[in-house]
Chains A and B, each alone.
Chain A
Amino acid sequence: DQQVKQNSPSLSVQEGRISILNCDYTNSMFDYFLWYKKYPAEGPTFLISISSIKDKNEDGRFTVFLNKSAKHLSLHIVPSQPGDSAVYFCAASATNTGNQFYFGTGTSLTVIP
């Protein structure tokens, strides 16, 4: 059973606008969350993370929001740039499971110039 879900397989956004990627999880024990970005023919690269003690983490154009009661997190990219076009994966982990992360199915973002 998929514990981390990304219900939107794809998203298209105009350059300069905001991109919002969503992720839902089912396991209430998850306490650490990451977003990865993946270009074709490359491995995923780490983008931004958030721990469950926070509800927001910001790094430049990227902000991750965590709503623990809804078991939902989102990644905001402002402003979106064509180079942001990639597949984005969210991942979640519970401290008591060591370093095992559970990944979502990915959302393919296309930023239109």
Chain B
Amino acid sequence: DVKVTQSSRYLVKRTGEKVFLECVQDMDHENMFWYRQDPGLGLRLIYFSYDVKMKEKGDIPEGYSVSREKKERFSLILESASTNQTSMYLCASSSGDVSQPQHFGDGTRLSIL
């Protein structure tokens, strides 16, 4: 069974801090994704990666960056956290083409004070 693990379930940070959210998958998947989920807006794609050291912007990349140094790990970085980045963050991974479903972690509830 695919396991996608997000390092923290809950995180509280202050405005202006640099925040790291970590995600690890154990199925050797090529593709990894970061989403945020907000009420009334569903899941919105922030960044994704098709391979090590590769990254692509999603729909809402502003204020975020990512790092993929190893195939199993995909990090989301909030360069200078702001209150409008308070959200649920979900990491996902998938293999192959679009017909393969994405497997999600349990999410990180991030609060920026």
Contact = CB atoms under 8 A, between A and B. Distances in A.
B12 interface: no
A45 interface: yes
Contacts, number: 63
Interface string B20-57: 00000000000101010000111111001010000000
A46 B33 CA distance: 15
A9 B39 CA distance: 10
A49 B94 CA distance: 15
B43 A100 contact: no
B106 interface: yes
B81 interface: no
A89 B42 contact: yes
Contacts of B101: 34, 46, 49
A100 B50 contact: no
B41 to A, nearest CB: 6
A42 B90 CA distance: 10
Interface string A35-53: 0100001111110010100
B99 interface: yes
Interface of A: 2, 4, 6, 9, 32, 34, 36, 41-46, 49, 51, 89, 91, 93, 95, 98-106
Interface of B: 4, 9, 31, 33, 35, 40-45, 48, 50, 58, 90, 92, 94, 97-107
27 contacts: A6-B42, A32-B99, A34-B101, A36-B104, A41-B106, A42-B106, A42-B107, A43-B4, A43-B90, A43-B92, A43-B104, A44-B43, A44-B90, A44-B104, A46-B103, A49-B101, A93-B98, A98-B98, A99-B31, A99-B94, A99-B100, A100-B45, A100-B58, A101-B98, A101-B102, A103-B42, A103-B44
